[in-house]
Amino acid sequence: MSDTFFTASPEWTWWIVLYFFIGGIAGMAFVLASLLDLRGDPLDRPLVRLGYYVAIAGVAISGLLLTVDLQRPERFWHMLIQSNTGRPMFKAWSPMSVGAWGLTLFGACAFLAALAAFSEERPDIKILQSAPIRWLRRRGAAVGIAIAGSIFGLFLAGYTGVLLAVSNRPIWADSHFLGLLFLVSAGSTGAAALMLLSIWRRAGSPAAVSWLAWFDRRVLILELLVLIVFLVSLGPVAGVFLSWWGLLLAGAVGVGIVTPLSLVSHRAATERQLVRGASLVLFGGLLLRMAVLLSSNAIHVLGTGVTGP
């Protein structure tokens, strides 16, 4: 039996499930928007702006969810500042410490990118045309923000799985593939979220939506492969999923990967099929995080009650 079964559950439940889900979408929405910003064409601008808005909204909600999950929310700043010395608090070997800084820096990039996008969209608002904000829209600044934000966005999408792995809990600490799995899943859910919003808001050329769909199809296949590798890497611990949690995981695969793949696996997928497929990808991404987090949380310290001699 794995030594991880002798540990207590941190009870990271719904707030954290939602944070992992929304944080992943925010991170990858920024990355995809940045790619369109740097390599797309002028017709993609509405979709670029949408991606930056998703990122700033997602990171704001993420910060809120993380704070609410703390047992002492008013001490959230202890993650960044040492409460007794006032100096910066940073541990390179603690994913939660690095994550707190990563989220903050990603938030800063997402804010600047969204501000520049909003000023581009609303030239009628005078304050948005001030010199500092216009500077944000200059090519050099925009490229810098896009690259820095993408690095932090990719970090945000994947560090959550690494955070779980750097523990001693069953399932989480029994595999090295959780960070990769969450990252790839954030790739599929981030693209799905952007696809849905771009269709809903009519914000983006058909070519840009096709690019997102093409990207999502390949990432879904990658996600399925990584999920299989993750389960194999768990060894006997994977037996935990021979329960209701397994049903949840199977749901994540069936609803969130296999069905969407069948809906959007061809070039001529209709808009309706794309909407259905993207919605299912999002639901599946949520199920995946529920299955991984809640299944481990449900395992409590091994007792020492009555046993055979």
Partner 1 sequence: MIAEPMGFYTDTTVCIGCKACEVACKEWNQLPTSVDRLLEMSGDSYDNTRQLDGTHWRHVKFIEQFSEDRSDGRWLMMSDVCKHCATAPCLEVCPTGAIIRTEFDTVVIQSDACNGCRDCIAACPFGVIGINAASNTAEKCTLCYDRLQAGMEPACAQACPTDSIRFGPIRELKQQAEARVRQLHVLGESRARLYGADDKILGGLNSFYLLVDEPEVYGLPSAPKMPSRNLVPSSLLSTAGAAVLVLLGLVGFRKRRMDEHV
Q: Please say which residue, 123 or 236, places its beta carbon nearer to partner 1.
A: 236
Least gap, CB of 215 to partner 1 (angstroms): 5
- Identify which of 179, 171, 187, 158 has the alpha carbon closest to the alpha carbon of residue 284: 187
Contacts of 248 (CB under 8 A, 6+ apart): 287, 290, 291, 294, 295
Start-to-end C-alpha separation, the chain: 19
Q: Please say which residue, 201 or 300, places its beta carbon nearer to partner 1.
A: 300
Least gap, CB of 256 to partner 1 (angstroms): 17
Least gap, CB of 140 to partner 1 (angstroms): 21
The two structure tokens encoding residue 233:
């890497």
Amino acid identity for residue 213 in this structure: A
Least gap, CB of 7 to partner 1 (angstroms): 5
Q: Please say which residue, 180 or 253, places its beta carbon nearer to partner 1.
A: 180
Identify the residue whose tokens are 């093409």. 214
The two structure tokens encoding residue 105:
């820096």
Least gap, CB of 127 to partner 1 (angstroms): 34
Give the sign of the dihedral formed by CA 141, CA 59, CA 96, CA 284.
negative
DSSP state of 36: H
Q: Please say which residue, 166 or 275, places its beta carbon nearer to partner 1.
A: 166
Least gap, CB of 91 to partner 1 (angstroms): 6
Q: Please say which residue, 168 or 279, places its beta carbon nearer to partner 1.
A: 168
Question: Is residue 272 within 8 Å of residue 259, measured between CB atoms?
Answer: no
Q: Please say which residue, 59 or 164, places its beta carbon nearer to partner 1.
A: 164
The two structure tokens encoding residue 72:
């002492």
